[in-house]
Amino acid sequence: MRVTRLGWGVKQSFRAYVEGSGGSVATDGGAARADDGTFVFQATPDSDLTLDGGALSGTGRFAGKIAFQAHGGLLSVTLTDPWVEPAGDGWVLSIAETATRRTAIAKLGALEGGALPAVTTLDGMMILGDHYPPGTQLDPVSLS
């Protein structure tokens, strides 16, 4: 099955903190907010990620941006164009930092109940404001 959609909430407690402190969460560029507060990204035409019997192959390229802002801009996190891609002996979720540079922010585990468990990488910790050490559980990534 070709994967055409990625769902991810980043981290529920992070979303709650940003919004609870009077901050904002905005989507742009094709990303949308689902009713449960998570985010949905559509695959780009060059995405070739497939899911067959629980096994992934290819690279999932998705379009959109999430911007978290709080504390008058002191907290500012933007996650752009997530990809699900192979890395070493596993899979990662990466984001675009520039037009030519991607950064893996989460390591993905084996498919469980239709979702991929996700934990922060060292770069993910830095991008998310230095609050979630490497290995911190994030919201799972769903593919459909």
Burial 33-67 (b: 16+ CB within 10 A, else e): eeeeebbbbebeeebebebeeeebeeebbbbbbbe
Note the pTM of the prediction, 2 decimals: 0.94
How many Å is the Cα radius of gyration of the chain?
A: 14
pLDDT given at position 46: 97
- Does pLDDT of 75 surpass 90? yes
DSSP state of 80: E
Given this model, what pLDDT does residue 114 score?
81
* Lookup: tokens for 92: 């990662």
pLDDT at 54: 82
Instruction: Check residues 129 and 91 and name the one with the higher pLDDT.
Output: 91
pLDDT in tens, 79-128: 999 999 999 889 999 999 988 999 999 999 999 888 999 999 999 999 99
